[in-house]
């Protein structure tokens, strides 16, 4: 009889326990959903932070590559060099000037050549105790004496106000110059030492009715990208030993 009664009453116990089990199940489900949502939000935040760190590491890696290229390029200079960092640029689009974090206390002087890892960028035009201002070769008021590396033909490369273009003035139509020629500093005027890469000739247009050819060139230096630059001290100029690295052309 007891066994029979248990068999008969078991479904009633099960039915009576349904509300309690439903409550427990709903509480567990709600807690699990809330936990999953919180964990998901935390993981999204962590992923965002990791992505930001990854971008910073990628930027640092690219900067290390640029610095390595800059230092490697300095080994070909028979001069002392000082590495400077660009801290500001001119807000006037017609003026191509930059501000560097080195000044007279570091031995920087007016007229000093400024290079990046690819070529000549410009020259120092103003010096303060801790900062200096440089004029880029692309500025419309800047001119640099150059010569064709292939044959030594001399000319003057003038800025056009465009970062990607220089113009050669007073080039005779019979001059041996062609697209692809490398232009280097000629040293005339004693402002820039001889042999610094300046630009590559991109266009030579000859009009039979004009006495001079129209010659355009693209600067070698990355005028709108370089963050670190080299300030060059010729060997004959005294420089502060504490801040300047001596580099000979034969050193590795």
In a domain, 248, yes or no: no
Q: Are residues 28 and 114 in the same domain?
A: no
| Of 47-56, 97-106, 208-217, 224-233, the least confident | 47-56
In a domain, 43, yes or no: yes
Q: Which residue has the higher pLDDT, 100 or 41?
A: 100
Among 205, 127, 131, which Cα is nearest to 168's? 205
Q: Which residue has the higher pLDDT, 36 or 250?
A: 36
C-alpha–C-alpha distance, residues 210 and 150, integer Å = 25
**β-pair partners for 250:** none
DSSP label of 105: G
Q: Are residues 126 and 230 in the same domain?
A: yes
- Spell out the residues 6+ positions from residue 107 whose beta carbon is closer than 8 angstroms to its own: 82, 233, 239, 240, 243, 244
Q: Are residues 111 and 206 in the same domain?
A: yes
- Spell out the residues 6+ positions from residue 20 whose beta carbon is closer than 8 angstroms to its own: none
Q: Are residues 116 and 230 in the same domain?
A: yes
**β-pair partners for 126:** 133
What is the model's pLDDT at position 242? 43
Q: Are residues 67 and 104 in the same domain?
A: no
Threshold 0.85, pTM exceeds: no
Give the structural domain span for 233. Answer: 76-242
What is the model's pLDDT at position 61? 64
DSSP assignment of 58-103, as one string?
HHHHHHHHHHHHHHHHHTT-SSEEEEEEEEEE-S-TT--EEEES--
Alpha-helix residue ranges (DSSP H) falling in the chain: 2-16, 18-74
58-76 pLDDT, tens digit each: 556 666 666 666 666 555 5
């Amino acid at each position: 009889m007891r066994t029979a009664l248990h068999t008969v009453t078991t479904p009633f116990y099960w039915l009576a326990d349904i509300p309690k089990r439903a409550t427990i199940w709903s509480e567990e489900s709600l807690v699990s959903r809330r936990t999953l949502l919180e964990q998901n939000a935390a993981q999204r935040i962590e992923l965002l932070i990791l992505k930001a760190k990854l971008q910073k590491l990628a930027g640092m890696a690219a900067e290390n590559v640029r610095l390595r290229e800059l230092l490697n390029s300095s080994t070909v200079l028979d001069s002392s060099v000082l590495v400077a960092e660009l801290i500001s640029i001119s807000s006037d689009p017609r003026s191509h000037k930059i501000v560097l974090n080195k000044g007279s206390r570091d031995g920087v002087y007016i007229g000093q050549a400024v290079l990046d890892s690819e070529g000549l960028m410009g020259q120092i035009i103003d010096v303060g105790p801790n900062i200096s201002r440089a004029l880029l070769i692309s500025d419309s008021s800047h001119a640099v004496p150059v010569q064709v590396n292939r044959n030594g033909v001399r000319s003057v490369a003038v800025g056009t106000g465009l970062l990607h273009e220089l113009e050669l003035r007073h080039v005779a139509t019979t001059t041996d110059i062609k697209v692809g020629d490398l232009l280097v500093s000629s040293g005339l005027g004693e402002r820039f030492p001889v042999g610094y890469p300046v630009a590559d000739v991109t266009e030579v247009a000859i009009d039979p009715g004009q006495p001079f050819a129209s010659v355009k060139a693209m600067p070698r230096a990355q005028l709108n990208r370089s963050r670190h630059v080299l300030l060059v001290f010729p060997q004959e100029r005294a420089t502060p030993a504490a801040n300047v690295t001596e580099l000979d052309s034969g050193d590795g």
